[in-house]
């Protein structure tokens, strides 16, 4: 079997695994769809969070920054990591305490203001779009290399896979696929 066929098989098997995990862990209620029903073990939650941090946007862009800027690029990596952990530690407990699923819900209720909630939505959309652009660019680059397709086609393939496991599994399915991604990434790093 040649290398290209082996690559297609491995990539296809990983897609099938992620979609299979999402179907296996599919959400049975609204709470499971949005917040995994609060039933994910803390270690698995940490693994899922780490996989998100080690994703294409972080991994490719940070590696590029360090390669291009040397030590100065490494400082961005520390700031990115520290900010991510700090945000999670300072915000997550309050979301849970207030029983809210999203930051805009929390901000709106906490400050009794629709305007504050709107500002939170705009900030989150800006940050999310910036992150997703880097993420999808990384996916397009990776898939164009492995599958011998254009970068744009790689982006569409990545979007389709993410769409499928998000729709089938909700947050519960996404969390478990992120755990699987964590295991793959840790093995790749090692």
**Can you give the pTM of this predicted structure?**
0.70
φ, ψ of residue 54 to 5 degrees: the values are: -85, 15
Tens-digit pLDDT profile for residues 32-54? 777 777 778 888 888 888 887 77
- Angle at CA of residue 143, ends 44 and 12, nearest 5°: 65
Which structural domain, as residue segments, surrounds residue 25? 3-189
> What single DSSP character describes residue 111?
T
The yes-or-no verdict on residue 57 having pLDDT over 70 is no
How many structural domains does the chain have? 1
């Amino acid at each position: 079997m040649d290398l290209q066929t082996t690559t297609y098989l491995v990539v296809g098997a990983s897609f099938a695994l992620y979609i299979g995990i999402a179907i296996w862990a599919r959400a049975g209620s609204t709470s499971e769809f949005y917040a995994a029903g609060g039933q994910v073990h803390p270690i698995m939650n940490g693994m899922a969070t780490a996989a998100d941090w080690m994703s294409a946007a972080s991994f490719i862009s940070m590696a590029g920054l360090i390669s291009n800027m040397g030590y100065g690029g490494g400082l961005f990596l520390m700031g990115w990591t520290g900010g991510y952990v700090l945000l999670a530690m300072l915000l997550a407990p309050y979301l849970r305490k207030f029983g809210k699923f999203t930051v805009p819900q929390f901000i709106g209720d906490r400050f009794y203001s629709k305007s504050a909630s709107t500002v939170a939505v705009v900030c989150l959309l800006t940050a999310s779009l910036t992150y997703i652009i880097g993420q999808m660019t990384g996916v397009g680059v990776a898939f164009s290399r492995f599958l011998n397709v254009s970068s744009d086609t790689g982006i569409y393939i990545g979007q389709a896979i993410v769409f499928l496991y998000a729709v089938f599994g909700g947050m519960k399915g996404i969390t478990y696929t992120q755990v699987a991604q964590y295991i793959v990434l840790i093995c790749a790093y090692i």
